[in-house]
Amino acid sequence: MDQRPDGGGVWDPFGTLRRALWIGGGQWAGKSTAARALAGRYGVTVYHYDFHDARAHDDRRVAHRVRAGRSPAGPDPEDVWVRTAPEEMAAETLAGFPVRFGWALDDLRALVSGRPVIAEGWGLRPELVAPLLDSPRRMVVMVPTEEFRREQARRMPRASGLGLGLSDPERAQRNRLARDRLVADDAVRSARRLGIRVIEVDGTRDAAAVADLLAEHFGPYLPPAEPEAGPGRSQVPSGRPFR
């Protein structure tokens, strides 16, 4: 994380990081859907970590590899998804999060809002976010139960396979889901150690109900609800599944 020029902490030129609300956790827990529901309800801005991580940050990833003397092309997908054990995949993912978090902070520093920005994504790790918090209530960690993770993998096209033309797509998908479980478990352990709330998502609540939970948790920091939204409502219809 970039430090202030005077060495007095993390650089936060417009106060965006200090006022932000954070949703971290595991893949396929409905973080993006719940955050968008809060945006519709309270008129706040949402920063989708995964969207930037898969797009603009890829250029930074290439530059990072080149500076480290590695190939700009990155590793072979067969090595990443088929030939690597889930435990090693998870360890590599966790080791890469601090650099990627720094890129997300750069994006957030460029945002200026009179209302708190909600930042959501699996790379927003509790141990990385905690130094920015004035209260653990500014963050929540959402993780799917194992059954809900499997359901999401069956139902959601982007969760059901990698689509990379791999030699053993079934093994790659098993490895991916096992990696995701290990990375989510690590987030839970870290959150509990730091006193950050963990919400386990099992699919029994729809998106609007989960947004209600988050609204209660973030209540001290949220503005009044938008008039067209009203209490208990959002732009995500009741009964809509997570995405």
pLDDT score recorded for residue 67: 85
pLDDT score recorded for residue 16: 96
pTM confidence score: 0.86
pLDDT score recorded for residue 241: 45
**pLDDT means over runs of 10, the chain (243 residues):** 58 95 94 94 95 80 83 84 95 95 95 95 97 97 92 76 81 92 97 98 92 96 81 46 46
CA distance 163 to 138: 36
pLDDT score recorded for residue 119: 98
pLDDT score recorded for residue 158: 67
The CATH code that applies to domain 16-221 is 3.40.50.300
